[in-house]
Chains A and B, each alone.
Chain A
């Protein structure tokens, strides 16, 4: 098992280096001179030249990329143009808030979607199934930020039950987590239903049933074991979509996280912060994918067996 985890960790390294390279190349396309941007139009030519030299902006692209990677390994992502503080400090200060929102969204999604998917499969073509699956289709079609606005109108402005913006308490978390989690929930509900439908027709389920085991036990013990694999795959992939969505949801709910910071950095043309923010998001996504693969190994005896 350790060997498997180690192997996956090693495989993560080239992916992260590649991701950083791609984002680095894209951000390098940003027009305009960063030195001018920071020092302003009034700055003298000497000051500009000195800044370029100091920041290493005159070096060719490959050198700048390698320096970025080595700095990254030492825990530095450069300095913000706006605040002159290290980018990593700016990001880490906001990281817990983003993770809080993302995990609340995925927990919300799993808690509502898995039971809906299972019941829909067990009662295929019933009213519950139809309503559940139509709701899932709508959930997938809804942009998270729009759902967020609708939730704010209904629960904050009309009913005044929950706060429309800010972070801090559990009450602040509910609306953004729901808005961000709904499409994820819809996707998971659909995949749970379809994999459950496939599983309950298998021979071993018929065997379990014919042994006289109660229906609940058959589903929860025998069927769920195999159902988790596709569900976790989709949940992992959805987590990436959700991290992307977080950027916009944080903007809608004025949630002081990495996403909101990223957008503010984009409008301020603070390239080191934009680069750092996107790199942070992608590294988190890659690590989550790794965790998903490790979870697989625990629940899927076929993978486990290969490494024992």
Chain B
């Protein structure tokens, strides 16, 4: 066997071909999954997120929005958890579990949309900034630094306070406050790959800057983007709940978790489950995203493994 392959350097043995195929087949996703599977926390996080996403998508089939989640039922107000209402009912007689289920949809929407916005805007800014360098980079990064000097929550608070509290403005506020984070991450990743041969090759082949940024640079920054996205989504859920809690986010009667806590607060002496359950929903969701984020970081970036 050995002799054969030595004779002709360009001819691979069937075994070697098999090995090569195996490596070729392993795409980015498969590679990530392999790393992720070994991390118990990440798997738990992923399962929880999948469950919450499932519940969020099929919320309407589980509980009717108008009839169960919004419509008051004054014959069943403030009932403690029972078989009929596993998590009890609120001051308007609405089933707390049904509201938490529909709240999952809201929280996921807010987290996904705000992260998608900040990721694309921040990502493009960061990628161009890192790739172009020079004055453009210096100016853009100074602006990002100024945004980063304002604590996230306060920036989001200022935006909602100015634009008025509703779902759209809440998403926009969270998204804007996360833009610099993505810009920073993308920029530093771009700086590390900017001088790679494949980029040189693309440049030599006459590709335009836009082509290089979108075709070569951004796809190679996927790993840090995914890690950052899961962390940002966790933070977005907390900020959304916090702002809704103080009346500057989603408005009642919408079943947002923070808004539910805000109204449950008046009854917490006698009916503490009204404060307990929506809060637990937040904790579990945020925990799942953080676990997944930690696992992804370990799987995608072995240098950061601790």
Contacts and interface: CB of A to CB of B under 8 A. Distances in A.
B150 A23 contact: yes
A205 interface: no
B151 A282 contact: yes
Contacts of B154: 243-244, 247, 278, 281-282
A96 B55 CA distance: 46
B143 interface: yes
B47 interface: no
Interface in A234-289: 240-241, 243-245, 247-248, 251, 262-263, 266-267, 274, 278, 281-282, 285-286, 289
A266 B159 contact: no
Contacts of A18: 142-143, 146, 149
Contacts of A248: 153, 242, 245-246
Interface stretch (B60-68, B77-85, B122-130, B264-272): B264-272
B306 interface: yes
Interface residues of A, number: 49
B159 A26 contact: yes
Q: Main SS of the interface on chain B? A: helix
Interface stretch (B6-14, B200-208, B278-286): B278-286
Given A23-B158, A267-B247, A245 B153 contact: yes
Contacts of A152: 268
B275 A240 contact: no
A81 B303 CA distance: 54
B259 to A, nearest CB: 12
Interface in B137-152: 142-143, 145-147, 149-152
B161 A143 contact: no
A285 B151 contact: yes
B173 to A, nearest CB: 9
A73 interface: no
A158 B238 CA distance: 27
Contacts of B147: 22
Given A26-B159, A30-B162, A145-B261, A241 B306 contact: no
B228 interface: no
Contacts of A157: 268-269, 272
A26 B162 CA distance: 7
A295 interface: no
Contact of A149 (B157, B163, B279): B279
A138 B149 contact: no
A19 B150 contact: yes
B156 to A, nearest CB: 8
Contact of B153 (A19, A21, A150, A247): A247
A254 B206 CA distance: 64
Contacts of A278: 150, 154, 157-158
B108 interface: no
A28 B157 CA distance: 14
Given A138-B283, A266-B161, A149 B268 contact: yes
26 contacts: A19-B146, A22-B155, A23-B150, A23-B158, A26-B162, A30-B162, A140-B290, A141-B283, A141-B286, A141-B287, A142-B279, A143-B242, A143-B282, A146-B261, A146-B279, A149-B275, A149-B279, A157-B268, A241-B153, A243-B154, A244-B157, A245-B153, A247-B157, A247-B246, A248-B245, A266-B161
Given A18-B146, A140-B286, A278-B154, 20 more contacts: A14-B142, A15-B145, A29-B163, A31-B164, A141-B282, A142-B286, A143-B241, A143-B282, A143-B286, A146-B261, A149-B279, A150-B275, A153-B272, A240-B151, A244-B157, A248-B245, A278-B150, A282-B151, A282-B154, A285-B149
